[in-house]
Chain A
Amino acid sequence: MNHSVRILLKSPKFMLGAVLLLLMIGVVMIYPLINRNDPLEMIALAYQPPDSKLLLGSDNFGRDLFLELIYGIRTSLQVGLIAGVFATAIGLVIGLASGYIGGMIDNLLTAVTNIFIVIPSFVILILISVSIDSRSSFVTAAIIGITSWPWTARAVRAQTSSLRNRDHVNIAKISGYSTPRIIMYEILPYIASYVVMAFVLQMASGILAEASISMLGLGPYNTISLGIIMNWALVFEAPVAGAWWAFIPAALSIAVITFSLYMMNTGMDEIFNPKIRS
C-alpha cells in the first residue's frame, strides 16, 4: 500500500489533481472562519459588479457572491463525497455478491444492474426529487448515490468473478475460511485500486448530478450549492442583465472540481493499468 502511494506521489497528473482539490478544500474551510458574514445576508444592490469590497459582485438579491461561491463549493464537495460513498458502497456490495456467489443470484443481480444502467439515472433522480418535499443536501446526495451505483457494480462484478477461481482463493476456501473473510482478505485487496478510482469518478459525477438537478430547480433546500447559484442566475435572468459574475465563477468552479478529480483518476489509472501508459 505504501509503495503504491509513493508511486502515486510521483505521477504529475495525480499530483496536479490532488493539489488543486486540496487547495480548494483548504480555501472553503478557512474563508468562512475569516469572513463570518451570513452568505444569505443582503448587503448590496442587485447585480453590483465586482470591486475591491465585493470580490465577485452581488447577485439578484444583493448578496455577496464570493461568499456564496465559497459556501456553494463546500456544499457541492460534501454532496459529491456523500453521493460517492453511497454509490461506491452499494455498487461494491452488489458487485461482490453477484461476482463471488454466482449462480442464480449473479443472474438476478446482473439483470437488475443492466436494467438500471440503461434507464437514465437522471430520470430517476428527477422523479424521486419531485416526490420528496423537503430535501436537505444530505438527502439529495443520498438520492444521487442510490441512482448511480450500477457502473461500479458492473466493474466490481467483472473483477470479482475472474478472481473467484484463482488459486489463492481456492486455497483459502479449502482452508475453511469463512466467506466474509475470503472476500475481505483474498478478493478486496485485488480490486481496491479499482474501487478507489470508481469512488473518485462517482464523486465527480455526483457533483455534476447535483449541479444538473439544482439547475432544474430540484436541488436541496435551505442551502447554497454551485448548481443552486446557477439556478438563481438563470431564473433571475443574470445573463440578460449582463451579470457574468453571477454564473461564470460558479460554472468554472464546477469545471475545476471535476477536472481535478478526473486528473486524479487518470493519474491512478495510468499507474494501476501500465498498459495504457503512452
Chain B
Amino acid sequence: MSAYGKYVVKKFFWYFVTLIVAIALNFLLPRMIEGNPVSVIVAQMTQGMTESDTIKRVYDTFAAEFGIDQPLHVQFFIYVKNLLTGNWGTSFGLYPKPVTEILASAIPWTIGLQLPAILVGWIIGNVLGAVAAYRKGVFDKVIFPVALFVNSIPFFTLAIIMLYAFALTLKWFPMHGGYDYQMIPSLSWEFIGSVLRHHTLPFLSIVLVTIGGQAIGMREMSIYELNSDYVLYSKLLGIRDSRIARYVFRNAMLPQITGLALSIGTMVGGSLICEIVFSYPGIGTWMFTAIRQLDYPLISGCTLLIALAVLLANFTIDLIYGWIDPRIKAAQMEDQ
C-alpha cells in the first residue's frame, strides 16, 4: 500500500474511534439528568394536562423510544440503531415533527453561511498575515494590532454590532431571517436576491473575525520562516525575492492548514451563535429555540450533527494535508 493509503487508513481509524466517543457522549451526558429522564421530560411535556390516560400514553411513547427499561448498554445499541436508521427522535417543541426533518431544513442554511465564510476568511487572513510579515514597517504595524483586536471580538459581538449599525441604524440590510418572510422559496431572481441580502451581514461578521485570527497565526509563522537559515542562504545565493516569498509561503502554510483543522470546532460554534443574532434559519437558531423550550431530542440532534460536521471537516482537512505535505510524499517515494 502506498504511504498516502496508509496515512488515510490510519486517519480513518482514529476518526472512527472519535466518532464513537462523540456518539457515546451524546448518549450518556443527557442521561445524567437526575432521576429518570423520561419522567422529567414527561413532567415538562404534560404540564397543564389533566387526563391521566394521555400522560401515561406520552410516558409510554418516550419510555419505548429511550428503551428506558433496558440496561444501559442495550439502550446504547438501541440509540445507535435508531441513529443509523434515521430515527433521531421527535421534537417536543414542534411535536410531532421528527428531529431529522427540522435538521434537514436547517442544514443548507448553515452550510451555505459557514463554509464560504470560513474559507474566505481563512484565505484572506493568510494572505494578509503573510504580507504583514513580509512587508513589515507601517503595514505590519497597522494590520497586526487591528487583527489582534478583531480576533478578540467574539463572533457574536461583531454580529450584534453589525446588526445594530447596518441593519437597524443605516437600514442597508434586513434584520433577521434567511429571506423575506412573505416570499415563497422558489428559484426566482427576486428570491435569490433576498437570500443574498440576508446572507451578507452574518457572512461578513464571520469572515472578519476569521480573518483576524488567521492573519495573526500566519504572520507569526511567516516571521519564524523568514528568520530561518534557508531564507538567508537563498538571499546570499541571489535568488529573487518573489521566489523566496513563495518558499516561505508554502512552508508557513502547512501549519496553518493544521491550525484550520484544529480551530474549526471553535469557529463553527462561534458561527452558530452568530446565526442566533440574525435569527438565521440554521442549526444555531434552532438550537437556541430548542434550549429555551427544553426540547431535549432537538438539542441532542443539533449537538450530534455539529459534532459529526466538525469531525467530517477535520477528516477532509487531514486528507488534503496528507496529500500536500511533502514529507508524506517523500515517504511514498522511498517506499517505491
Contact = CB atoms under 8 A, between A and B. Distances in A.
A230 to B, nearest CB: 7
B140 interface: yes
B161 interface: yes
Instruction: State the 6 A-B residue pairs at the shortest beta-carbon distance, nearest first.
Output: A120-B265, A122-B269, A258-B152, A251-B157, A259-B152, A127-B29
B30 A130 contact: yes
B148 A216 contact: no
Interface residues of A, number: 51
A21 to B, nearest CB: 12
Contacts of A258: 152-154
B291 A217 contact: yes
B32 A131 contact: yes
Interface string A196-236: 00000000110010011001111000000000001000110
A119 B22 contact: yes
B148 A259 contact: yes
Contacts of B113: none
Chain B CB within 10 A, most for which of A240, A247, A252: A247
Contact of A127 (B149, B156, B161, B300): B300
Contacts of B136: 278
B132 to A, nearest CB: 9
Contact of A239 (B151, B160, B287): B160
Contacts of A122: 265-266, 268-269, 272, 306
B276 interface: yes
Contacts of A117: 262
Overall SS of chain B's interface: helix
B299 interface: yes
Interface residues of B, number: 58
B26 interface: yes
A255 B146 CA distance: 12
Overall SS of chain A's interface: helix
A240 B277 CA distance: 11
B258 to A, nearest CB: 11
B303 interface: yes
Interface stretch (B11-19, B72-80, B184-192, B233-241): B11-19
Contacts of A124: 25, 29
Interface of A: 111, 114-115, 117-124, 126-128, 130-133, 204-205, 208, 211-212, 215-218, 230, 234-235, 239-240, 242, 244, 247-248, 251-252, 254-255, 258-259, 261-263, 266, 269, 275-278
Contact of A266 (B148, B161, B268, B276): B148
Contacts of B163: 239
B168 interface: yes
A133 B299 contact: no
B265 A121 contact: yes
Contact of A126 (B175, B270, B299): B299
Contacts of B161: 248, 251
Nearest to B310: A120
B273 A215 contact: yes
B214 to A, nearest CB: 14
Given A120-B310, A130-B291, A131-B29, A212 B299 contact: no
A109 B149 CA distance: 35
A208 B164 CA distance: 21
B156 A230 contact: yes
Given A122-B269, A130-B299, A216-B288, A115 B34 contact: no
A118 B16 CA distance: 12
A115 B157 contact: no
Nearest to A119: B22
19 contacts: A115-B17, A115-B21, A117-B262, A120-B268, A123-B306, A126-B303, A128-B29, A131-B29, A212-B269, A239-B164, A239-B168, A239-B175, A242-B168, A247-B160, A248-B164, A255-B149, A255-B153, A259-B152, A278-B136
A215 B159 CA distance: 13
B296 interface: yes
B133 A278 contact: yes
B110 interface: no
A75 B17 CA distance: 38
B311 A230 contact: no
Contacts of B311: 118-119
Given A130-B30, A216-B273, A276-B220, A115 B227 contact: no
B63 interface: no
Contacts of A248: 160-161, 164
B223 interface: yes
Interface in B214-271: 220, 223-224, 227, 262, 265-266, 268-270
Given A127-B25, A242-B168, A255 B33 contact: no
B319 interface: no
B293 to A, nearest CB: 10
B3 interface: no
Contact of B18 (A118, A131, A218, A235): A118
B296 A130 contact: yes
B292 interface: yes
A229 B168 CA distance: 20
A244 B165 CA distance: 10
A182 to B, nearest CB: 31
B55 interface: no
A111 to B, nearest CB: 8
Contacts of B91: none
